[in-house]
Structure 1
């Protein structure tokens, strides 16, 4: 098991790509903390992981909210004693399929801003705990 006893946080953990990453981490022995906006989706991934013998802890976290991200990272440390891996697979898909000629500048930039802000906040929170 490549990740035996490692503690992983997967942001966007209820999504298809992040869920697959979380399941793979769990199969390799990691304790997985799933973070995202929708508990039902997070819970479905957590149930798959636990059904396969792994450990998963879902939590509703808005990865665009600095205080929520920092609090969640601290909670991971409190619950599991470490934070070894942090993966952010958050993407804003609101504009997928919309012709550019119908978009506002704000619509066009939103996925970029969401990705950059969430990746910075989640990476910084993890780094602070890893130090």
Structure 2
């Protein structure tokens, strides 16, 4: 199936590893120009190099999505390199887990600022380009955690907030043929998830309680994102696509 992504420019934040890297590589495979954004320059450059070595077009950019000036500079680099921005993937995020009575204000702020404020700053920065060309895709990475996870009040708040943000963006920008959707992964096998001290217990429980009895792969999420970014999804907006193997 031709997704119509060839020649489009996509910014993927938090793309230095895990799900973000898989999304960036998928866009590269589809012929898009990929701006691989990550707070770590070396990680961003490595993923961009993977894409170009495979014959694709990519640019690695270091950017802190909580910094307005850094976000503006990232978008300017994308436009300078590729002419415009068609697709934004708000993927940057992190976790600082803890029960609410033991959660520090700094851990709350870091998670919320990175996941939610970052999506706001990046979306605001790319929308003028999408509006001018009357075409755009904004896809924000939520999570099954939007339903609430114990010990993850900050992370769950961000992932639920991104769904509300997505619906607002869909209503505000549909008249300009800009769609906004969210993807909510479940248990996905990434280096970040595997680093959890209770990973094996969490993995085994997820497999037992998932209708499709396996852990998801980053490529499963990348496939969903590529579809929502494509011409094939032009009449889908304000929605949430769960990639959870049926586990809710």
Instruction: Tell me the TM-score normalised to structure 1 length.
Output: 0.88
Query: Please, which runs of 5 or more residues in structure 1 have no aligned partner?
Result: none
Mean Cα displacement is larger for which, 41-50 or 115-124? Answer: 41-50
Higher RCO (Cα < 8 Å, 6 or more apart): 1
1:9 corresponds to 2:25: no
Change (3 A) 1:71 1:108: closer
Instruction: Tell me the SS of whatever aligns to 1:49.
Output: helix
Report the count of equivalent residues: 129
Q: Could you tell me how far apart the structure 1 residues matched to 2:73 and 2:66 are? A: 13
Q: Tell me the distance in 2 between the aligned counterparts of 1:40 and 1:71.
A: 18
Equivalent residues of 1:73, 1:129 under 8 A apart: no
Structure 2 unaligned spans of 5+: 132-248
- Could you say which residue in structure 2 is the equivalent of 1:117? 117
Task: Determine the C-alpha separation between the residues in 2 that align with 1:43 and 1:81.
Answer: 20
Give the match's secondary structure for 1:64: coil
Residue in structure 2 matched with residue 130 of structure 1 by the alignment: 130
Q: Which moved more, 1:69-78 or 1:117-126?
A: 69-78
Q: TM-score, normalised by structure 2?
A: 0.49
Change (3 A) 1:61 1:5: same
Report the aligned-residue RMSD.
Answer: 1.7
Q: How does 1:33-112 map to 2 (within 5 A)?
A: 33-93=35-95, 95-96=96-97, 98-112=98-112
- Per the TM alignment, residue 109 of structure 1 is displaced from its structure 2 partner at its CA by 4.7
- After the TM superposition, which of the residue ranges 115-124 and 46-55 deviates more from structure 2? 46-55
Shift of 1:53: 1.0
Aligned-pair distance for 1:78?
A: 1.7
Residues 30-61 of structure 1 deviation map (CA, whole Å, 9 limit, x = unaligned)? 01011111111112211211121111100111
Task: Give yes or no for contact 2:66–2:113 (8 Å, CA) kept in 1.
Answer: no
Shift of 1:100: 4.3
